[in-house]
Structure 1
Amino acid sequence: MTTNGRDRLRELLDAVLDESHRSLDDMAGGAHTSRFHFARSISRAAGEGPVAMRRRVMLERAAWQLRDGASVAEAAWTAGYDSAEGFSRAFARAFGHPPSAPAASHWLPSPNGIHFHPPTSLWVHAEEGVMNPLTEQLVRHDIDDTSYLLDAAAHLDDGEVSRPLLPGNTVLEWDGEEPSIASVLESLVHSKEVWLAALEGLDLPERGDPPALGELRARHERAAARWLAAVRDIDRRGAWDDRLVDALCDPPESFVISAVVAHVLTFSAHRRQLVRFMLRSCGSRVDDGDPIMWLRRLRGEIDPEPEEHEGAAL
């Protein structure tokens, strides 16, 4: 007996979200198909890879559970994370705030309108307004790639990270010289902190010598979550042509918000490639930072690099 395409898609989605399916191989086995065919079928039909979809829907379920009184540890376990710390990082990156703060909605942006609906079912919202896929991909790739480079730099000793490999390197005049891996990574994080302060009306973040990588990673995680939430909010409000009066400048200046986001992404991309160049000069093996390969890994179309595992079950 054959099933129509709609029924088969539902079977594939059920395999993605089955409680016992903790990996792509489990999902494909549950759907009685090959790993490759399963990932391709889901990606083509839903515009989202099975691993990425499961991770997103599990985070949506976790947000609903937290609003319903569950502890962070309980939500982390049911979402498939090995630790509350790994879950908290993933949650903050997705929602723009830590799990200790209740989410206004337990739904995340979705390319297909498929969401978790309590208590255990899926909800398809056909007319959902989501952020432009290109903007979402550019912002998320920037965030994830910076995390990747911070992890790669952590394998070097402190002397290599702080050594001036590019003496005199200046990306933007007002940021000063960035001759080392540590200084370029710090500027990657600091640039978002500065523009977030302007958007949120906060004081200019203090800046000193590049901190230890562990501290810089924590700063990046906080700023990345806020930055993603801010850009999503700009898109939701259609505020791309609005102007930001930046009181942190002396004298205050006015900027078009779309230009601010473009500015951050442009110089972040430049700095990320500078870090790659310096890491390779220290003998580190790093990828090319290609957003095509990043998206394929995110969608589960190819295997993730070992260093890109987040500590979750998937």
Structure 2
Amino acid sequence: MTETGAGRDRLRELLDAVLDEDHRTLEEMAGGAYASPYHFSRQLSRGAGEPPVAMRRRVMLERAAWQLRQGSSVTDAAFAAGYESVEGFSRAFQRAYGEPPGSVPRDAGPHWLPAPNGIHFHPPTSLWVEGTARPAAGEVSALLVEHDLDDTRELLELAKGLDEHAYRDARLPGHAPLGFDGPDESLAQLLGHLVGTKELWLASIEGRDVPPPGADDVPALLERHDAVAPRWLAMVRDVDRRRAWGDRLVDALCEPPESFVLASVLAHVLTYSAHRRLLARHLLGAAAAWPEGDPITWLQRRTGGQP
């Protein structure tokens, strides 16, 4: 959690505002945290990796799932979760859990949904926050995933001040480490691949269609990154929780379809992302001050200087 004063935990205050029973809208949440809706949403999204409205909806669905397993009626669970109709609640529950709320057995499994931040409903009225502050050796992969997402965003922020030539000129002619991805000759191509790779792999893992090509100007890439980053992190957490890294993905987006072990997919993304981030820093030059891309200094910043 982020300290902003002696004995004060600002992120915890934001979470309390999100989950307060009386706060149903973004404006009400922000008011409870004494912030504007814009700054409230920005602070929470950066601190917890999830927009406030999406977090509240997910945690309320987790609570509803637990209540249903304790014998609550679907109607009571729906209105307690803030839905205006049982039909709307049922559709949202089915999308999240893959089954209608009326068919949830009392002895069903865990009620947690995939989350990018480890924040979940904990019965009867609390939150459970999975620890991430002091990663052990077995959590190095999780640390690398989070560093990759944060560092990619930092590079995109640094690229905001570049003119079009510096951003799009092919300063690495002929460079294409992955032929099927196309060239990585310019900063625009490097940053575009950093974001687009995760969009494509998530589509494969989630069984979705190939996402259409997105705009690659810096504001658009920032928007795309902020949309895909929490989903990517949630996927990694979910696979890890299920100990499913040995599962195989049959990627129908390939022609012909190919099979990949999930652990190798993550290793692939991290390997080429690190390569592209280093090259992007090289092209950014003095704007990307070393050693700010170093996982050591990144973790020190996150933990307040602690190793």
On whether the aligned pair clears a TM of 0.5, the verdict is yes
Give 1:269's aligned residue. Answer: 274
Counterpart CA distance in 1 for 2:280 and 2:130 is: 41
Normalised by the length of structure 2, the TM-score is 0.68
Is 1:86 equivalent to 2:89 in the alignment? no
Q: Equivalent residue for 2:19?
A: 64
Q: Is 1:135 aligned with 2:141? A: yes
Provide closer, same or farther for how the CA distance between residues 277 and 74 of structure 1 changes in structure 2, counting only shifts above 3 A. same
In the alignment, the residues of structure 1 paired with residue 194 and residue 32 of structure 2 have an alpha-carbon distance, to the nearest angstrom, of: 34
Q: Distance in 2 between matches of 1:291 and 1:193?
A: 23
Aligned counterparts of 1:207 and 1:188: Cα–Cα separation in 2: 14
Structure 1 residue 169: deviation in Å? 1.2
Partners of 2:210 and 2:129 lie apart in 1 by 42
Deviates further, 98-107 or 161-170:
98-107
- Please name the residue that 2:71 is paired with: none
**Pair 1:81–1:240, CA change in 2 (3 A):** farther
Query: Which residue in 1 is equivalent to 2:205?
Result: 199
Matched ranges for 1:1-314 at <5 A: 23=4, 26-27=5-6, 54=9, 57-58=12-13, 60-65=15-20, 69-76=23-30, 78=32, 83-87=39-43, 89-90=45-46, 93-94=49-50, 98-99=54-55, 101-103=57-59, 104-105=61-62, 108-109=117-118, 133-207=139-213, 211-280=216-285, 283-288=286-291, 289-301=293-305
Larger RCO of the pair (alpha carbons < 8 Å, separation 6+) = 1
Give the deviation of 1:91 after TM superposition.
6.7
Q: Which amino acid aligns with 1:284?
A: A
Cα-to-partner distance string for 1:267-292 (whole Å, 9 max, x where unaligned): 10110001000000xx4242331111
Q: Which runs of 5+ in 1 are unaligned?
A: 1-15, 31-49, 303-314
Contact kept, 8 Å, 1:91 with 1:98, in 2: the verdict is no
Aligned match of 2:69:
none
Distance, in Å, in 1 between the alignment partners of 2:122 and 2:46 is 17
Deviation track 1:61-95 (CA, whole Å, cap 9, x = no partner) reads 34423x76432234345557661441463377248
Q: After superposition, give the CA deviation of every residue in 1:95-141 in whole Å (9 maximum; x if it has no partner).
A: 8983474334599438xx9x99998x887999xxx995322211110
- Structure 2, unpaired ranges of 5+: 64-114
Residue aligned with 1:254, SS: strand
